[in-house]
Amino acid sequence: MNYIVMDLEWNQSAKGKQFSEDHFPFEIIQIGAAKVNEKLDIVDEWQCTIKPQVYTKLQNTVKKILGITENDLANGTDFVSGVTEFLEWCGEDYTFVTWGSMDITELRRNMKFYDVPENFQKPLLYLDLQKLYSINFSDGKTRMNLKSAIDEQGIKGDEHYHSAMSDARYT
């Protein structure tokens, strides 16, 4: 059994929430993942840039936080191909690990929007390290952002935050 430590980055309507597609507020533009074995060793990594089809203009905050442009996404793969390859890479026996629950929500929402068959068990079980961190190092309710948790634990890191692959490694 492997853990798939996954992080996603997504875009939204550049014109504002009221211009979002119904039931599709965020479109995934990056997938980053580290495959971790039972000994907690990273045994493989996978990443993909997704060329957006719905929200093709980057929302200003997304552009600023991620440090990317529309040109950076222009050579990306389509979502269906990217997520299909990602799920094949995950293999058969794995558990997702994320920092927070939004990545699982958005992965499933994007799969539904793009009509990608969801072959996950119901309910989809995963480990939310943000919640587990709060239970172990705080009051069990407060959710700390990833950078603050990394800093609090004294973990050295020189990778840029808010890149799907980097955030997967940090998680």
How many C-beta atoms surround the C-beta of residue 67 within 10 A? 10
pLDDT bracket for residue 87 (50, 70, 90)? very high
Token couple for 5: 């430590």
What is the C-alpha separation between 17 and 24, in angstroms, rounded?
Answer: 10
Say yes or no to pLDDT of 121 above 80: no
Say yes or no to pLDDT of 119 above 90: no
Chain-centroid distance of CA 149 in Å reads 17
pLDDT the model gives residue 76:
96
Predicted TM-score of the model (pTM):
0.94
How many C-beta atoms surround the C-beta of residue 82 within 10 A? 21
Amino acid occupying residue 155:
I
